[in-house]
Amino acid sequence: MDTDKHRFIHKEITDKVIKVFYEVYNDLGHGFLESVYERSLEIALNSLGFKVCRQIQIPVWFRGKPVGDFTADMLVEDASYLS
């Protein structure tokens, strides 16, 4: 996948995560629950030395006021769109 044209903020991490995602999918195949792929991706990324946190609560603000939390499936290397 050519991530240059998509202008990912964390291009190097994104490239590696996408590559590992396909490795996980090719190993497992289709038909499992999302949680199975998520845990498998975490294991594969950890094996490459990546710090991975799953099911992270991210506060959402609107016009300076907290409006709720968003649950992100996965955060890799503490990288976020806010960085």
Helices (H) and strands (E) in the chain, counts: 2, 2
Question: For residue 82, what pLDDT band results from cuts at 50, 70 and 90?
Answer: low
The boundaries of the domain holding residue 47 are: 4-76
Contact 15, 6 (CB under 8 A): no
Q: How many domains does the chain have?
A: 1
Inside any domain, residue 81: no
Answer whether residue 63 shows pLDDT above 60: yes
Inside any domain, residue 49: yes
Inside any domain, residue 22: yes
Inside any domain, residue 54: yes
The per-residue pLDDT for 83 is 47
Contact 73, 54 (CB under 8 A): yes
The per-residue pLDDT for 6 is 64
For 1-49, what is each residue's pLDDT tens digit? 554 566 778 888 989 999 999 999 999 999 999 999 999 999 999 999 9
